[in-house]
Amino acid sequence: MEFGILGPLEVRTDGRVVPLGGAKARAVLAVRALHANQPVSAERLAVALWGEDVPPSAVKTVQVYVARLRKALDDPEVLVTTPAGYCLRVRPGELDAQRFERRFADGRRALRQDVPNTPPSSCARRWSCGVDRRWQSSPRRRSRRVRSHAWRSSIWPLLNCVSKPT
């Protein structure tokens, strides 16, 4: 299973896009993906969906959204209930933001080490999917900042890769 949060919210399994339902169900999944492998309470999800003006039935409605997402994901081990809340279990490499961060770090490391004979496409691939650790402080703005930082910081390393003799 692959989770995409850096562009449009998307889940893929076996190469096909999983239909996630309406806007609120998708928002529940987005909050869960931003806090992958960490439990989030139904109350906190309700605040994320409705803000401070949470309706009395919000927790029950969140439970319905979670049940629908579980059915759509078709894997009972992906979205689980814990005593602390709902947990989206994501394995390494399944979340695009995590791949982005790892490749970003790999690209920075390769440039710092001045890796010889690194083709530009390899540098571009490393830089096309990563984020600097200082941008991880706010999960709510993480997706926007990840893309913005990677875009701004990618031009110099790519030029550096292109200008290196092979």
Q: Residue 36 carries which side chain, given as an amino acid letter?
A: A
Q: Residue 38: which domain range?
A: 2-88
Same domain, 51 and 110: no
For residue 100 the two structure tokens come to: 């982005």
Same domain, 6 and 84: yes
**DSSP state, residue 134:** G
CA distance 83 to 157: 45
Mean pLDDT rounded to a whole number for the chain: 77
CB burial of residue 83 (10 Å; 0-12, 13-18, 19+) = exposed
Summarize pLDDT for 25-67 with one digit per residue, the tens.
Answer: 999 999 999 999 999 999 999 999 999 899 999 999 999 999 9
Q: What's the structural domain count of the chain?
A: 2
Are 31 and 25 in contact by the 8 Å Cβ rule? The answer is no
Summarize pLDDT for 113-124 with one digit per residue, the tens.
Answer: 766 555 554 555
pLDDT of residue 104: 81
CA distance 111 to 123: 8
Tell if the pTM clears 0.85, that is, is over it.
Answer: no
Residue 149 CA: distances (Å) to CA of 28, 61, 79: 26, 36, 30
pLDDT at 166 over 80: no
pLDDT of residue 116: 57
- Beta-bridge partner residues of 81: 86
Same domain, 84 and 7: yes
**Winning range, highest mean pLDDT, from 91-95, 111-115, 148-152:** 91-95
Q: Which of 97, 81, 91 is nearest to 10 (CA)?
A: 97
State mean pLDDT over 141-161: 49
pLDDT of residue 101: 85
CA distance 45 to 51: 9
Same domain, 47 and 122: no
Summarize pLDDT for 118-149 with one digit per residue, the tens.
Answer: 555 455 554 444 444 434 444 545 555 555 55
